[in-house]
Amino acid sequence: MRTIIEPFRIKSVEPIRMTNREERISFLEAAHYNLFSLDSEHVIIDLLTDSGTSSMSANQWASMMRGDESYAGSPSYDRFHKAVYELMPFTNIIPTHQGRAAEKILFSIIGGKGKYILNNTHFDTTRANIEFSGAEAIDLVIAEGKIPSSEHPFKGNMDIEKLEAFIKEKGAENIPLVMLTITNNSGGGQPVSMENIKATKYVCMKYDIPLFIDACRFAENAWFIKMREPGYENVPVKTIVQEIFSYADGCTMSAKKDALVNMGGWLAMNNAEWAEAARNLLILTEGFPTYGGLAGRDLEAIATGLEEVIDEDYLHYRISSTQYLASHLIEAGIPIVRPAGGHAVYIDARAMLSHIPALEYPGQALAVEMYLHAGIRACEIGTVMFGMQANGTEVAAPMDLVRLAIPRRVYTQSHIDYVIEALTEINQNKQDLSGLKIVWQPKQLRHFSARFMPLNLKEKQKENFSKAFAASL
């Protein structure tokens, strides 16, 4: 049979409040047109992120009940360590409360002024933690990774020629490590091939530079290798995962993605000196090295989630459901990043809203309209997120995308059909949309808390907006 069904039954549900457009207008105004500032209870379908939004399984909830909350030496840590080590056999595995904590610790140790961290594409918090240390984050994804319409099967690949050229230009001594983000979130959730992982490792070995993996969606990346890379079609996903990490010297991990939990992460590495420094920082900022800011029950849930995420029935369903959304948007004439990634579908907002200049944020304009029209919350990944440079200037990002991140095991096909219908209707009237301007922003990570004003407001509306904005300061 061709029909793909969810490889699970639903045991518990939570209600969705069905808002109307008039309500959503007021909610959005109160949030200053920043979707991160909305109350989740005012969102009908929440595709803002797949991070920490998964539904946990009955086995995960059951495993949480045996969580041991001892401050040090908890058996829950032993089970966590065993589960991670089975897939990622690094000599030092250090739990953290989430992935960005692992990044903060790592780059506090190895970053600094005059240093460069190379990646296929850094995501927002990774880049921010690197730049906060004084180092510079450099993206070296292949050219196809910057072309939304390209059908390259591994658009997350590192550009090997550019990687080696950069190392030669800046000097290996100024590059403490190279990273690969799998899958490549900022570039449309695109996978990295095993061949490219091995080629990246070869260059790193040549110049004695450690290779780390940003492993948030490692299982989805492994599934794409199984589906798309010759020679791996009959290899179990677990074996593919183990091979991926055999080429790495360490990793950062947000367990909130492919460990199927709501909170957690880890930092892993083979370098004993770095690991000692990391544990010392961990104690200062997170907790003792056998819990790292997590409860014992969190460690238990992660251990069980790592077993479930490499289940091939689950991965088949997961990727197929994303492809279902992608194929229907393509049929509706909506430009997306192709081929679709694993955890999300990325709309090419710059192509869809070609009448809105990049510095008027077409991605944010589309995301705002999705909420107004249908109560759907999505995430801009474009000039709002990446346009502000470290020197204070603003440039258009390489792409203006809107990410429809699909939480794991949360929504059914009817929910996704609702998203398809809404976007089809928006696309039919897209010329009516206009851009926005930023009226306030923080110095870093502005997309989380920036405040916007639509450019199509009438004079009286602008006056009211200005009064409301002034009152909120």
- Give the pLDDT confidence score for residue 185 in this predicted structure: 80
Mean pLDDT of 284-289: 92
- Give the pLDDT confidence score for residue 393 in this predicted structure: 86
- Answer yes or no: pTM beyond 0.75: yes
- Note whether 226 and 233 are within 8 A (CB): yes
The yes-or-no verdict on residue 75 having pLDDT over 60 is yes
Report the Cα–Cα distance between both ends of the chain, in Å, rounded. Answer: 58
Q: Establish whether the linkage from the previous residue to 339 is cis, with ω within 30° of 0.
A: yes
Task: Report d(CA 348, CA 124) in Å as an integer.
Answer: 19
- Give the pLDDT confidence score for residue 378 in this predicted structure: 97
Task: Report d(CA 53, CA 58) in Å as an integer.
Answer: 16
- Note whether 56 and 10 are within 8 A (CB): no
H-helix segments, 111-234: 124-132, 160-170, 194-206, 218-228
Within the chain, all domains assigned CATH 3.40.640.10 are found at: 58-309
- Give the pLDDT confidence score for residue 186 in this predicted structure: 77
The yes-or-no verdict on residue 465 having pLDDT over 70 is no
> Of the CATH numbers 3.40.1190.20, 3.40.50.2300, 3.90.1150.10, 3.40.50.720, which one belongs to the domain with range 21-50+312-472?
3.90.1150.10
Task: Report d(CA 275, CA 106) in Å as an integer.
Answer: 9
Task: Report d(CA 121, CA 214) in Å as an integer.
Answer: 10
DSSP of 367-385: HHHHHHHH-EE-EEESHHH
Q: Could you tell me the pLDDT band of residue 187, with boundaries at 50, 70 and 90?
A: confident
The yes-or-no verdict on residue 379 having pLDDT over 70 is yes
Question: What are the residues whose beta carbons fall under 8 Å from the beta carbon of 463, sequence distance 6 or more?
Answer: none
H-helix segments, 133-217: 160-170, 194-206
**β-pairing verdict for 265-269 and 92-96:** antiparallel
The yes-or-no verdict on residue 471 having pLDDT over 80 is no
What number of H helices and E strands is found in the chain? Answer: 17, 14
Closest-CA residue to 438 (of 422, 458, 455, 453): 453
- CATH architecture assignment, domain 58-309: 3-Layer(aba) Sandwich (3.40)
- Across all residues in the chain, what is the average pLDDT? 93
Mean pLDDT of 57-84: 95
Within the chain, all domains assigned CATH 3.90.1150.10 are found at: 21-50+312-472
The yes-or-no verdict on residue 473 having pLDDT over 70 is no
Question: What are the residues whose beta carbons fall under 8 Å from the beta carbon of 231, sequence distance 6 or more?
Answer: none
- Give the pLDDT confidence score for residue 171 in this predicted structure: 96
Q: Work out the percent of the chain whose per-residue pLDDT is above 90.
A: 82
The yes-or-no verdict on residue 291 having pLDDT over 80 is yes
Q: Tens digits of per-residue pLDDT, 224-237? A: 999 999 999 999 99
One-letter amino acid at 185 equals N
- Give the pLDDT confidence score for residue 167 in this predicted structure: 97
- Note whether 72 and 298 are within 8 A (CB): no
Question: What are the residues whose beta carbons fall under 8 Å from the beta carbon of 436, sequence distance 6 or more?
Answer: 33, 360, 361, 364, 365, 368, 452, 453, 454, 455
